């Protein structure tokens, strides 16, 4: 009887161990969270997530000797997911801000961006100074939203930039504030109904998000990024997506 109990216990222990091992992170995989609603950095082509960030992530993963595994979720969830370590990284055109640096790690910058204004083609709004008292849409949880709140505009936030621009075209808001390259990409799909103003509202830099203090991974990615820059691979990727890039 004792033997049977011992054997059962041993078996149970073994099963537990195996299950535990299964949950352990696969060292050969780089898990990435993104929000595929941000063309041309990440967007859906059919079922596939594509874009400049995806190409950069694949190039980094290759240098790290890992396979890239992408999860498509809301923008704020992607940030939280990387900050808590649920995913190794969030790559989603994420602006490295001081506020975010309080609770997530950032690699070096890889792209310079700004917030831009989209208005309807016939709008009287020609510059940021014309925005006073206007209702402006943006994407939830972004630096665009933060800019609008900081400057006391009436804000309508949407889960995606596409919804924010739909609100503009249907006359629900007077303007959209969103990252410049994305503004151009979204506006280009509105059959000439919208235009992007030249004025840049902010200056921002995109970087890759990790868990706070994951310095080993940050270091590895920084090395990979520097190599990709040196090799001209970054410039090549940005050119492919018609993204202006100053390789310095």
Q: Given the complex with ligand GLN, which of 38 and 153 has the nearer CB atom?
A: 38
Closer CB to ligand GLN, 38 or 87, in the complex: 38
Q: Smallest Cα–Cα separation from 56: which of 210, 184, 239? A: 239
Nearer residue to ligand GLN within complex by CB, 148 or 218: 148
Among 31, 142, 156, 210, binds ligand GLN (CB under 6 A): 142
- Pick between residue 66 and residue 159 the one whose CB is nearest to ligand GLN: 159
In angstroms, give the least distance from the CB of 67 to ligand GLN: 24
Q: Return the H-helix or E-strand segment holding 208.
A: strand 204-210
Find out whether 173 and 156 touch, Cβ atoms under 8 Å: yes
94 binds ligand GLN (CB under 6 A): yes
Site string for ligand GLN, 43-82 (x = CB under 6 A): --------------------------------x-------
Residue with tokens 């921002």: 204
SS3 state of residue 176: strand
- CB atoms inside a 10 Å sphere around CB 98: 6
Residue 137 lies near ligand GLN (rule: CB under 6 A): no
Residue 38 pairs in a beta bridge with 42
Sign of the CA dihedral running 228, 231, 234, 240: negative
**From the CB of 18, what's the least distance to ligand GLN, in Å?**
39
CA distance 175 to 152: 15
Report how far residue 134's alpha carbon sits from residue 174's, in angstroms, rounded to the nearest whole number. 6
> Counting contacts by CB under 6 A, is residue 214 touching ligand GLN?
no
Q: CB nearest ligand GLN: which residue?
A: 142
* DSSP assignment of 54-83: HHHHHHHHHHHT-EEEEEE--HHHHHHHHH
> At its nearest, how many Å lie between ligand GLN and the CB of residue 88?
18
For residues 195 and 169, the answer to whether their CB atoms sit within 8 Å is: no
Rounded CA gap, 170 and 166, in Å?
A: 6
Contact between 143 and ligand GLN by CB under 6 A: the answer reads yes
The number of residues that bind ligand GLN (CB under 6 A) is 11
The only residue of 31, 80, 95, 210 in contact with ligand GLN, by rule CB under 6 A: 95
**Among residues 114 and 223, whose Cβ is nearest to ligand GLN?**
114
Q: How far is the CB of 183 from ligand GLN (least distance, A)?
A: 11
Chain residues that interact with ligand GLN, rule: CB under 6 A: 35, 38, 75, 92-95, 139, 142-143, 179
């Amino acid at each position: 009887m004792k033997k049977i109990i011992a054997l059962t216990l041993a078996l149970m222990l073994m099963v537990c161990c195996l299950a535990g091992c299964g949950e352990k992170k696969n060292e050969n995989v780089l898990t990435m969270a993104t929000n595929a609603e941000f063309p041309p950095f990440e967007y859906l082509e059919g079922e596939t997530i594509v874009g400049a960030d995806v190409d950069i992530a694949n190039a980094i993963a290759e240098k790290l000797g890992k396979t890239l595994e992408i999860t498509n979720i809301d923008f704020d969830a992607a940030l939280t997911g990387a900050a808590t370590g649920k995913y190794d990284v969030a790559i989603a055109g994420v602006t490295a801000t001081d506020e975010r640096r309080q609770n997530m790690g950032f690699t070096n910058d890889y792209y310079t961006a700004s917030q831009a204004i989209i208005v309807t083609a016939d709008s009287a709004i020609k510059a940021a100074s014309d925005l006073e008292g206007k209702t402006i849409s943006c994407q939830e949880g972004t630096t665009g939203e933060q800019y609008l709140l900081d400057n006391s505009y009436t804000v309508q936030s949407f889960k995606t930039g596409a919804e924010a621009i739909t609100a503009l075209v249907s006359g629900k808001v007077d303007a959209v504030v969103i990252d410049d390259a994305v503004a151009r990409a979204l506006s280009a799909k509105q059959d000439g109904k919208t235009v992007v103003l030249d004025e840049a509202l902010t200056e921002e830099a995109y970087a890759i998000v990790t868990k706070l203090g994951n310095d080993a991974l940050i270091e590895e990615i920084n090395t990979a990024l520097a190599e990709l820059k040196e090799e001209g691979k970054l410039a090549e990727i940005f050119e492919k997506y018609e993204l202006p890039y100053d390789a310095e």
